[in-house]
């Protein structure tokens, strides 16, 4: 008899558990979009510091910039916070008019004062992305006189040289130029830090959503900003950090998340057969390339550089290992950029490569190493390249390493070949030209470390041409200059560009309007909804 109550208790517990397990089935709420995504790269929510993929996307959905571009046609620039702008005849002074009646999520009105403060603040804080503004001659000492408010809804910005207006404007579409709520930020200022310590983990913007919560390596919660003029259909967007891609797939198929962001090609192939799932993709401004260190005497020979370009099986890589995650692209400017070259002259041609190697005096091939990040994709690509190199007698030794580890070595120019990925910092061709085609100082202790420098390559006249392209005010002529630069690098440069990244998301069928743009900060949930 004494045992009975205990037995009853455990029976009750089991019953309760059984009912609760049935309740587990529930899908995500209709007004909430839940995404499974690797978000462990976020280190800050302050737009003056954000430079990582996931944080950029969050900023794109929660902050507004002065100007922006059409995600479908990057050449169309429009005012977001700005109503209009003019450029002075000498090309150095930009005057912006700000839209009236805009409000921050906090309720504070958005005026020219906030815009000026935001731009000045980014330069003053001088975090990683500050150079995007700094390249126009702004620094700590002059920024307060160069960017000035001239009326409640008007301000001017004076750049140091008559740059191509497209260059200046595209840079202002970057995350770093997001408009922050001056009043709110300054309320949280500590020891003159311009609110930096606070904004790192908080929010002060005017975008379609506001950031309610960020738990590192766990979750980010966005909530609809009621003050945004084109009210978002969703009340909430939740990004869950799910590191393991197979887990992302399970959650998606089960309906516990609406969007899975980091699936691999096999998982995508399997999901494409599931009628409840649809797959969406967009080419991104990131290219995959091999960097050939010119300190290696073999790689420094022009014939060898060219031979290796004929020893990559471009289409096989795009069709198998990187299926639905990349397409063949051989110029350093990604498709969709001003002046991008979209022809791909190289294909796997072992005979031609052998001929070139013989000319270089390497008839029997040579041995070379490649520093490779040990992710499944990059390793797979590296192995494919190893196989095709071998066909011409080039013995490729793969040195696996962690991301930061290989990068450290690359930045110290201690590699032979580095297999890398380069995403543009801003939506202007100069971002890539500056790193692939220009190198002002090739000495070991140079301050700037563009990709050309990292591969110890002196591009000769191309550096001057890159600098000139940035000043060309005629957009068409400017585009042509970039075409020439790309062709020169493609022909003789130490870069084997082989792929342009495609970003893929698998979504539940009822998700509508999640837009993937050409850059990471243009993946938008502003008008997404669930049917």
Partner 1 sequence: MASSIANGGGGHDALRFYLAKTVQFILVLATTLLGLVAVTFFIGRIVPIDPVLAIVGDRAPPQVYARVREELGLDLPLIQQFWIYLKNAVTGDFGNSVLTTNPVMSDIIDTFPATFELATLGTLIGVFIGIPLGVLAAVKRGSLIDQVVRFLGLAGYSIPIFWLGLMGLLLFYAKLGWVAGPGRIDVTYSYLYTPVTGIVLIDTAMQGQWDAFWDAVSHIILPACLLGYFSLAYISRMTRSFMLNELAQEYVIAARVKGLSEFRVIWRHALRNAAVPLVTVIALSYANLLEGSVLTETVFAWPGLGQYITNSLRNADMNAVLGGTLAIGTAFVVLNLVSDLLYRLLDPRTR
Cβ proximity to partner 1: between 183 and 409 the closer is 409
Cβ proximity to partner 1: between 197 and 488 the closer is 197
Report DSSP state, residue 159. Answer: -
CA distance 516 to 91: 34
Q: Tell me which stretch binds partner 1 (CB under 8 A): 169-177, 210-218, 274-282, 343-351.
A: 210-218
Cβ proximity to partner 1: between 115 and 237 the closer is 237
Q: What is the dihedral of CA 405, 127, 153, 523, to 10 degrees?
A: 10
Q: Tell me which stretch binds partner 1 (CB under 8 A): 26-34, 170-178, 292-300, 506-514.
A: 26-34
- Cβ(239)–Cβ(220) under 8 Å? yes
Q: Is 501 in the site for partner 1 (CB under 8 A)?
A: no
Q: Select from 88, 403, 477, 509 the one that contacts partner 1 (CB under 8 A).
A: 403
Q: Is 404 in the site for partner 1 (CB under 8 A)?
A: yes
Positions 442 through 471 that interact with partner 1 (CB under 8 A)? 447-449
Q: Is 126 in the site for partner 1 (CB under 8 A)?
A: yes
3-state DSSP call for residue 507?
strand
Closest CA to 306 of 265, 355, 260: 355
Cβ proximity to partner 1: between 31 and 458 the closer is 31
Q: Is 529 in the site for partner 1 (CB under 8 A)?
A: no
Q: Select from 113, 154, 256, 483 the one that contacts partner 1 (CB under 8 A).
A: 256
CA distance 57 to 332: 23
Q: Select from 87, 219, 399, 488 the one that contacts partner 1 (CB under 8 A).
A: 219
Q: Is 11 in the site for partner 1 (CB under 8 A)?
A: no
Q: Is 30 in the site for partner 1 (CB under 8 A)?
A: no
Nearest distance from residue 395's CB to partner 1, in Å?
A: 24
Cβ proximity to partner 1: between 191 and 476 the closer is 191
Neighbour-count burial of 217, counting CB atoms closer than 10 A to its CB (0-12 exposed, 13-18 middle, 19+ buried): exposed
Q: Select from 8, 15, 246, 269 the one that contacts partner 1 (CB under 8 A).
A: 246
Residue 341 CB: number of other CB atoms within 10 A? 21
Q: Which DSSP string do the residues of 259-308 spell out, in sequence order?
A: EE----HHHHHHHTT-TTEEEEEEEEEEEEEEEE-TTSTTTTSHHHHHHH
- Cβ(143)–Cβ(194) under 8 Å? no
Cβ proximity to partner 1: between 139 and 229 the closer is 139
Q: Is 235 in the site for partner 1 (CB under 8 A)?
A: no
Residues contacting partner 1: total by CB under 8 A: 56
Spatial neighbors of 393 by CB under 8 A, at least 6 apart, are 354, 357, 362, 364, 365, 366
Q: Is 425 in the site for partner 1 (CB under 8 A)?
A: yes
Q: Select from 99, 241, 295, 529 the one that contacts partner 1 (CB under 8 A).
A: 241
Q: Give the burial string for 85-118 (b: 16+ CB within 10 Å, else e).
A: bebeeebbebebbbeeebbbbbebbbbbbbbbbb
Q: Is 6 in the site for partner 1 (CB under 8 A)?
A: no
Q: Select from 16, 351, 387, 468 the one that contacts partner 1 (CB under 8 A).
A: 16
CA distance 109 to 12: 57
Nearest distance from residue 257's CB to partner 1, in Å?
A: 9
Residue given tokens 């590699």 in the structure block: 415
Q: Is 272 in the site for partner 1 (CB under 8 A)?
A: no
CA distance 71 to 520: 11
Cβ proximity to partner 1: between 221 and 316 the closer is 221
- Cβ(396)–Cβ(370) under 8 Å? yes
Nearest distance from residue 241's CB to partner 1, in Å?
A: 7
Cβ proximity to partner 1: between 115 and 378 the closer is 378
3-state DSSP call for residue 361?
coil
- Cβ(162)–Cβ(93) under 8 Å? no
**Contact footprint for partner 1 (CB under 8 A):** 16-17, 20-25, 29, 32, 34, 40, 43-44, 51-52, 126-131, 134, 200-201, 215-219, 221, 238, 240-244, 246-247, 250-251, 253-254, 256, 402-405, 407-409, 411, 425, 447-449
């Amino acid at each position: 008899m004494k045992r009975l109550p205990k037995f009853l208790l455990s029976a009750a517990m089991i019953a309760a558990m059984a009912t609760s397990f049935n309740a587990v089935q529930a899908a995500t709420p209709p007004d909430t979009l839940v995404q499974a995504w690797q978000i462990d790269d976020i280190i800050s929510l302050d737009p003056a510091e954000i430079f990582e993929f996931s944080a950029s996307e969050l900023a794109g959905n929660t902050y507004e910039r002065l100007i922006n571009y059409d995600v479908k046609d990057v050449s169309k620039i429009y005012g977001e916070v700005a109503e209009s702008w003019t450029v002075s005849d000498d090309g150095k002074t930009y005057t912006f008019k700000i839209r009236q009646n805009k409000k921050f999520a906090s309720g504070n009105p958005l005026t020219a004062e906030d815009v000026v403060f935001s731009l000045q603040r980014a330069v003053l804080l001088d975090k990683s992305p500050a150079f995007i503004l700094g390249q126009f001659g702004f620094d700590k000492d002059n920024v307060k006189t160069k960017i000035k408010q001239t009326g409640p809804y008007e301000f001017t910005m004076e750049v140091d040289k008559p740059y191509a207006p497209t260059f200046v404007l595209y840079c202002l579409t970057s995350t770093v130029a997001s408009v922050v709520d001056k009043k709110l930020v300054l309320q949280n200022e500590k020891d003159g830090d311009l609110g930096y310590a606070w904004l790192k983990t908080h929010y002060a913007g005017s975008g379609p959503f506001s950031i309610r919560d960020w738990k590192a390596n766990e979750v980010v919660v966005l909530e609809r900003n009621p003050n945004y003029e084109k009210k978002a259909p969703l009340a909430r967007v939740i990004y869950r950090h799910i590191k393991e891609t197979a887990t992302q797939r399970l959650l998606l198929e089960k309906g516990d998340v609406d969007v899975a962001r980091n699936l691999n090609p096999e998982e995508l192939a399997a999901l494409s057969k599931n009628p409840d799932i649809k797959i969406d993709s967009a080419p991104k401004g990131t290219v995959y390339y091999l960097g050939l260190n010119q300190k290696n005497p073999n790689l420094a020979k022009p014939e060898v550089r060219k031979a290796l370009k004929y020893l990559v099986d471009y289409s096989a890589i795009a069709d198998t290992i990187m299926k639905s995650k990349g397409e063949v692209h051989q110029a350093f400017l990604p498709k969709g950029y001003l002046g991008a070259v979209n022809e791909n002259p190289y294909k796997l041609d072992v005979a031609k490569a052998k001929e070139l190697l013989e000319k270089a005096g390497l008839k029997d091939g040579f041995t070379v190493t490649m520093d490779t990040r040990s992710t499944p994709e990059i390793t797979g690509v590296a192995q494919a390249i190893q196989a095709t190199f071998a066909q011409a007698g080039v013995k490729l030794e793969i040195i696996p390493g962690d991301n930061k580890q290989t990068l450290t070595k690359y930045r110290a120019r201690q590699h032979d070949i580095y297999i890398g990925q380069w995403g543009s910092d801003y939506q202007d061709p100069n971002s890539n030209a500056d790193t692939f085609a220009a190198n002002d100082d090739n000495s070991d202790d140079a301050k700037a470390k563009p990709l050309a420098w990292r591969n110890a390559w002196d591009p000769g006249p191309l550096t001057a041409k890159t600098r000139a392209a940035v000043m060309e005010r005629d957009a068409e002529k400017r585009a042509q200059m970039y075409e020439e630069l790309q062709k020169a690098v493609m022909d003789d440069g130490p870069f084997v560009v082989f792929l342009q990244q495609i970003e893929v998301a698998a979504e539940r069928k009822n998700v509508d309007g999640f837009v993937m743009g050409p850059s990471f900060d243009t993946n938008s949930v502003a008008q997404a909804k669930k049917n």
